[in-house]
A and B are shown apart, each in its own frame.
Chain A
Amino acid sequence: MRRLAIVLVAACVLGFPPGAHADPVETDPDLAKRDEDYAAGRKAVEAKDWAEAVARLRKAEIRNPESADLHNFLGYSYRNLRQFEPAFRHYKRAIEIDPRHRGAHEYIGEAYLMTGDLPSAEKHLKALREICLLPCEELADLEKAVAQYRKSGKR
């Protein structure tokens, strides 16, 4: 037990000076680090520059056609430009690639509400309820949006 305590303390004081290394065992999950256009597209999303976001993300899409996050950001950017056809296309692609993509389910649901399609929004609400066995923001946000939509009497 005393030795285990020593080990635990040793783990706390592990030194971490930087090093340069080619990488035989790791993959980098962060696309933003690997793709300039994707990084710029994400920055444009944060800056709410939707046209720039679409332009840069579409360039990044050529190299990364199977990134669910990229399609989700594209969907979001098109949605904000009120171009719903490409927005739906990219959200659907994001969900096709990653059926548990919470953000895409929430945003496509909200996009359906924006176009007056409550039943489709509810399908994604149902999907989020199954995915979010543990509470998640995306479910709470879409629940709120659906409730507000109903309250507004648009249904």
Chain B
Amino acid sequence: MKTHLLAALVGSTLSLYAAPGTAYEGDAQTGKLGKVSFPTLCDPKLQADFERTVAMLHSFWYVAAEKSFPEIAAKDPACAIAHWGYASILMNNPLAGTGATPAAAKKAQIAIDEARRIGAKTQRERDYIEATAAYYEDYANRPEKARQASRAKAYEALAARYPDDDEAQIFAALYIAGTQSQADQSFAAYLKAAAMLEPQFRKHPDHPGVAHYLIHSYDAPPIADKGLDAARRYASIAPAAPHALHMPSHIFTRVGAWDESAATNVRSAKVAKAGGEADETYHASDYAVYAYLQTARDAAALDLMTDTLKVTGVSSGRPTAFYAAAAMPARYAVERGDWKAAMQLQPVATSYAFTDAITHFARALGALRSGDVAAGDREAQVLAALHKKLVDAKNTYWATEVEVQRLAVSGWTEHAKGNAAEGLKFMRAAADLEDRNEKHIVTPARIVPARELLAEMLLEQKQPALALKEFEASQLREPNRFRNFAGSVQAAEMAGDRARAATYARKLVELAANGDGKRVELSRAKAMLTQR
């Protein structure tokens, strides 16, 4: 039974993860996962492996770490803390909110029991094991929020007991951040975590967890700019971990730092592709394509999208790659206002109604903005069927997102039919509903912000002052967008506000400084500035 559970764990994880992940071993061996110091009394020969695996844990590189901790435990059967690592990994992304699955919780409890049976050689190691055990305690009878609270409390106590143990401070901060409620707009838990992490960042600039958790702790629109330093640092700390390369772009996207977002995501996609991690390749590419399109680097966007869509081997069990595969071509058409191309997007039926909806939404917009109401109606019917699927499946979040798309399509249908007021009624309802639903982490952004679409409709209805107001409201949540600035130039100009038009024209030209120069809006903006 003793040798036993571990051997079984090693066997099962090796067989599960035999194919991908190993491509990074070379980089990992040279310390490209950042610097972690976590002293243990396990076999000294395994100390470097252990610290490298803790570094993987800090970069949420679960595929690799889930294999590595059991290997360490198998090589040193007296290394109880390796079981702590394994149980900690199985808690899953502590910031995603869903926590360990019941199956993972069973495996984790076995690991914790084994760690207790072995008996760690120091009180500190025993305390780490018990801190993670607090999360799993009475798992079947507690909600995830209660588990998160227990974990945060236990790690906070650990950090207080060992004030000189920086790993304890860092893990405590992570798990405190994991208790942040979306309803708390003061972001108290995030800011408490950040306050613990900032001094650690000065002390350990190359630690993968500190920079990573700082980014997460500032991953909310009103505080995102505070995370820029950590975002810029993190990718260079752990370039072997695809998530480390991609994660900074959550901050870059929030603040509209497109060049940095594109650069780090292109690297992330490259590393993920080399490692056979197809889902991550798609995910990072979608973020990069989005960033390229905001700076009018259309050729770069098209190249990356073309290359990515050739990548096979995606996981059918998660929507990540399917979302990106639908989103990239839709973005490429819609962001450039190429409505004919949007109409021609080819739908691909998948098992994810909300990713399928992306293509139909873009096709509908393309049709309606080209004046083809009949084609728009057909797409609206498909969207209604997809929406019903999501409602029936009780997938509330994505049902709401598709409802926003349906409302927008209804708005543009009415607008195309000449029913201006009805069009605005639907479009305003879409924008208000979207504002109440936070963007999902699977995407850098919706295909187009609903409030921006409302502004464009107002512009078409010759209400430039109201249009400008909506464009500017949209900028608060979606800063530095090309279509927004282009629309703002036009709205300000139509409203007779030449100074504001020039300000937005300058912003647009700056935004697209490295662009292809083929967008009409850009040429107009340049011409406007030259005439002044």
Verify if B145 is at the interface (C-beta below 8 Å from A).
yes
B143 touching A63, Cβ below 8 Å: yes
Question: Nearest B residue to A70 by beta-carbon distance?
Answer: B394
Verify if A85 is at the interface (C-beta below 8 Å from B).
no
Bound Cα distance A100, B333 (Å): 33
Verify if A141 is at the interface (C-beta below 8 Å from B).
no
A66 touching B329, Cβ below 8 Å: no
Verify if A21 is at the interface (C-beta below 8 Å from B).
yes
Bound Cα distance A78, B400 (Å): 27
Which residue of the partner chain, among A16, A20, A31, contacts B314 with CB atoms under 8 Å? A16
Verify if A147 is at the interface (C-beta below 8 Å from B).
no
Verify if B531 is at the interface (C-beta below 8 Å from A).
no
B341 touching A62, Cβ below 8 Å: no
B394 touching A30, Cβ below 8 Å: yes
Return A95 CB to nearest CB of chain B, in Å.
13
Verify if B1 is at the interface (C-beta below 8 Å from A).
no
Verify if B463 is at the interface (C-beta below 8 Å from A).
no
Verify if B142 is at the interface (C-beta below 8 Å from A).
yes
A11 touching B348, Cβ below 8 Å: yes
Interface string of B285-314 (1 = CB under 8 A from A): 000000000000000001001100110111
B309 touching A21, Cβ below 8 Å: no
Verify if B206 is at the interface (C-beta below 8 Å from A).
no
B313 touching A12, Cβ below 8 Å: no
Q: Which residues on the A side are within 8 Å of B474 (C-beta)?
A: none
Interface string of A10-22 (1 = CB under 8 A from B): 1110111111111
Which residue of the partner chain, among A1, A7, A28, A101, contacts B309 with CB atoms under 8 Å? A7
A29 touching B16, Cβ below 8 Å: no
A3 touching B395, Cβ below 8 Å: no
Return B24 CB to nearest CB of chain A, in Å.
15
B329 touching A11, Cβ below 8 Å: yes
Return B440 CB to nearest CB of chain A, in Å.
8
Bound Cα distance A9, B66 (Å): 37
B306 touching A14, Cβ below 8 Å: no
A134 touching B410, Cβ below 8 Å: yes
Bound Cα distance A17, B243 (Å): 22
Verify if B187 is at the interface (C-beta below 8 Å from A).
no
Return B408 CB to nearest CB of chain A, in Å.
11
A-B contact count (CB 8 A): 147
Q: Which residues on the A side are within 8 Å of B348 (C-beta)?
A: 11-12, 14
A69 touching B143, Cβ below 8 Å: no
Verify if A23 is at the interface (C-beta below 8 Å from B).
yes
Q: Which residues on the B side are within 8 Å of A62 (C-beta)?
A: 141-143
Return B338 CB to nearest CB of chain A, in Å.
8
Q: Which of A5, A66, A100 has the most chain B CB within a 10 Å cutoff?
A: A100
Verify if A68 is at the interface (C-beta below 8 Å from B).
yes
A10 touching B278, Cβ below 8 Å: no
Q: Which of A25, A36, A134 has the most chain B CB within a 10 Å cutoff?
A: A25
Bound Cα distance A3, B320 (Å): 24
Bound Cα distance A134, B425 (Å): 11
Question: Nearest A residue to B333 by beta-carbon distance?
Answer: A4
Bound Cα distance A15, B426 (Å): 38
Q: Which residues on the A side are within 8 Å of B398 (C-beta)?
A: 29
A24 touching B142, Cβ below 8 Å: no
Verify if A8 is at the interface (C-beta below 8 Å from B).
yes
With A9-B346, A34-B101 as contacts: A19 and B396 at CB distance below 8 Å: no
Bound Cα distance A9, B315 (Å): 20
Interface string of B24-48 (1 = CB under 8 A from A): 0000000000000000000000000
Verify if A64 is at the interface (C-beta below 8 Å from B).
yes
B302 touching A23, Cβ below 8 Å: no
Interchain Cβ contacts under 8 Å between A and B, 13 examples:
A4-B302, A11-B346, A16-B314, A17-B316, A19-B316, A19-B317, A20-B17, A25-B283, A25-B320, A26-B319, A26-B442, A27-B98, A34-B98
Q: Give me 7 other A-B pairs in contact (C-beta within 8 A), A8-B345, A14-B348, A26-B318 excluded.
A: A7-B309, A11-B309, A17-B314, A22-B66, A22-B92, A30-B393, A68-B396
Closest 6 CB pairs of A and B: A22-B62, A15-B312, A19-B315, A10-B309, A24-B60, A69-B394
